[in-house]
Structure 1
Amino acid sequence: MNNGELDTYLRKRNENEWMVLRFPEEIHAAYEATIPQVNGTKTIPEQFLVPGEHFAFLKHPRYIATPEHRHEFLEVNFVYSGECRQVINGKSVILAAGEFCMMDSNVIHSIEKPGDNDIIINLLMSKRFLDIDVMKRLSGNDLMSEFLVNSIYRSQDHNDYIIFRSSANRNTRTYMEQALCEYLDPTVGSEEAMNCHIILLFTELMRDHKESNAFKRKGPTSRAPITQIIQYINDNYKHVTLHSLASQFNYHPNYLSSLLKSHFGYGLMIIVQDLKIKEATMLLKYTNMTIGEIAFEVGYSNITLFYNHFKERHIVTPLAYRKMNS
């Protein structure tokens, strides 16, 4: 898919939009009824994403207002054309074409009814996509890292959002459009390409806005060096232990364990497990190594444990995953 084909696809009315135009009141009532209530607020669960996938691109439906709600995942809104009018945490926000809004998983927002030319793309990302490997790639950008760590992994304490007035930055639009083309028309290497485009997009957004008032630090920060810890775990995940990590950063193991859980929602064992399984999926796709060799290579001495952890992450066994991706 090229950019011209993408433009045609996005501007064409899909089945849902035709239904809204035909039966606006019925569709609006059904739309509201499909969003479950959690603690008194309409909440779209992480299960909204396809099992085994950790991010998705969706064209926001035109001609219908979206009621007040929140997500259990991070959402990035991109205005492809026209505008997007939202109310975020009680504040009116208008995005123009080429602009982005990044919201954490505890933000309550609603979207006014988009018109025919108001094409809005929603990038939805699970916590597992924004894992320690992605965080490590962004560790050189403390502003982005801090926002993602706090907003995603400590979402009970934060309900932040960032507006990126990036309409003049062609690179941000290019990275978003390239990722969209890969997602809508996948081919060999599309998953890896999408990951790279998203990382480039995030980096470009923060580079473009790092001097704005929204990101200037106010006073000293007591934030733990979480990006340094992330990088160390990423570099040593095959053999790192809680005690060796604590020793590296001069922390008591109990304090470090609490620090990791407060930021990521789970401890070192799960973080390391995710990194091992991520490398295993790459080896299954691109090498002829046996399952046992792969398990040993990523740091497992118990192949049964490797099988169990792999199925928890990908639902299928390593062998089935290899056949599906061969």
Structure 2
Amino acid sequence: MNIAELEQIIRDSSDVPNATEEEVVAHFRAKYPVVNFGDRPVYVFTAEREFGGSCHAVSVHGINAPATPEHIYQYALITYCYAGEFKMTVDGAPVTLSAGDCLVADRHVPHGVAATGPNDFAVNIVLNDRFFDDHFLKTATRLGSKFALALSTRTSAHMESRVYQSRNDELARCLVDRILCEKFDPAVATDDIIDSLAEALLTHLLRTYEGDVRSQAEIDQCERLIGRIREHVALNYREGNLGKMAAALGYDATYLSATVRQETGQTFKQLVNEERMKRAAMLLQGTHMTVAEIAAEVGVSNLTQFYKRFREYAGCTPNDYRNQ
């Protein structure tokens, strides 16, 4: 698709129905529950948005659209002002995006949109949890930004948002254009390409406009430490002792535990268990040892626990794995 054609295609492809503001409010009242958020009512969108098996949903909030009341998604949101101005309320405060500006909002941030004029439209990229699990979690840990990690981890309160004044950012515009080209002219692997472009867009915004993104030297230092931790676990998985590993590597145990969780998304125990099950799978494939012998060999003394952990790791029992 020719990028020069995009603006006209977007003007003709608004996902906002041609309705009055009163009709929009009536629709919200009929479909969504209302909660009191602070001193105001906010609609809560249920987790029913259609993603069609993908990790994203891309839509256009088009020209001459009525206002939408404050609402809360169950998903992260990128709103990119493509032309004109896009006036919003974000957590009760007024926000105006000029062409090229971008809002990134976590899952539980209330937001609403003012009525748009004849030259105002924006692109919404909604990202579900699978996007962060499958695509962005590793990137977030490398960046080290608190906002990036909040977007990517399920233990976060998910109440943060950012407005990036990226109006002169050619790379951000290029990535949004390519996402729209894929949306309006889909082909083989379009979903995968949009996922990759959305990851690139979010990564670019965070590393360009977030002040706490780690330097490459800090990233390299952490990766070297994780490499040493993985090497130690591979050699000592039977014992799996955090204190002894900390002593061997010359670090505080609490620091190492936190580093493992931040850099890998796993606890130290999960890292050890993964290595044990990996070794168990190799023994099941390459030896005639009994399951009980393999459990003892990899450091799991409780056979019931071994069966449970192996099923979680491989999706089947040890005997089924061996027979396959």
Cα separation, partners in 2 of 1:115 and 1:177, compared to 1, 3 Å: same
Paired position in structure 2 for 1:26: 23
Matches of 1:216 and 1:187 in 2, distance apart? 38
User: Structure 1 301/51 Cα, relative in aligned 2: closer, same or farther at 3 Å?
Assistant: farther
1:68 counterpart SS class: strand
Normalising by structure 1, report the TM-score.
0.63
- Cα distance in 1 for partners of 2:56, 2:134 equals 15
Q: Distance in 1 between matches of 2:189 and 2:241?
A: 34
**AA partner of residue 178 (structure 1):** R
Q: 1:107 and 1:168 mapped to 2: Cα distance?
A: 26
1:57 maps to which residue? 58
Q: Look up the match of 1:48.
A: 49
Is 2:103 the partner of 1:106? no
Partner of 1:187: 187
- Is the partner of 1:201 in helix, strand or coil? helix
CA 1:250–1:176: 2 relative to 1, 3 Å: farther
Q: Which residue in the other structure is 2:160 paired with?
A: 160
CA distance in 1, matches of 2:98, 2:155: 27
Q: CA deviation at 1:55?
A: 0.9
Q: Does 1:204 align with 2:204?
A: yes
Structure 2 gap segments, 5+ residues each? 214-221, 275-308, 317-324
- How far is the alpha carbon of 1:171 from its aligned partner? 0.8
Structure 2 CA distance for aligned equivalents of residues 113 and 245 of structure 1: 59
Cα pair 1:83 1:119 within 8 Å, conserved: yes
Summarize the Cα distance change of 1:181–1:157 in structure 2 as closer, same or farther, 3 Å threshold. same
Give the length in aligned residue pairs: 258
State the partner residue of 1:92. Answer: 94
What is the distance in 2 between the residues matched to 1:179 and 1:74?
Answer: 17
Q: In 2 relative to 1, CA 14–74 (structure 1 residues): closer, same or farther, beyond 3 Å?
A: closer
Checking the alignment, whether the CA contact within 8 Å between 1:77 and 1:123 is kept in structure 2 is yes
For residue 11 of structure 1, what is the aligned residue in structure 2? 11
CA distance in 1, matches of 2:59, 2:51: 12
Give the structure with higher Rg (CA).
2
User: 1:35 aligned to 2:36?
Assistant: no
* Counterpart in the other structure of 2:84: 82
Kindly tell me: are residues 117 and 55 of structure 1, through their superposed partners in 2, closer, same or farther at Cα, counting changes over 3 Å? same
Query: Unpaired segments of 5 or more residues in structure 1?
Result: 218-226, 273-299, 308-326
- Secondary structure in 1 matching 2:131: coil
Q: Relative to structure 1, is the Cα distance of residues 13 and 205 closer, same or farther in structure 2, using a 3 angstrom cutoff?
A: closer
- In structure 2, C-alpha distance between the alignment counterparts of 1:57 and 1:178, rounded to whole Å: 12
Find the residue that maps to 2:130 and give its secondary structure.
coil
**Contact 1:32–1:67 (Cα < 8 Å) also in 2:** no
**Partner residue of 1:131?**
133
Distance change (3 Å), C-alpha of 1:184 and 1:103: same
- Please list, as runs of the form range in 1=range in 2, the aligned pairs for 1:209-220 lying within 5 A after superposition: 209-210=209-210, 215=211
Give the direction of change, closer, same or farther, for the CA distance of 1:156–1:203 in structure 2 (3 Å limit).
Answer: closer
Contact 2:55 2:195 in 1 (8 A): no
1:169 match: 169
- Give the superposition deviation at 1:251: 5.2
User: For residues 2 and 306 of structure 1, do their structure 2 counterparts lie closer, same or farther at Cα, with a shift above 3 Å needed?
Assistant: farther
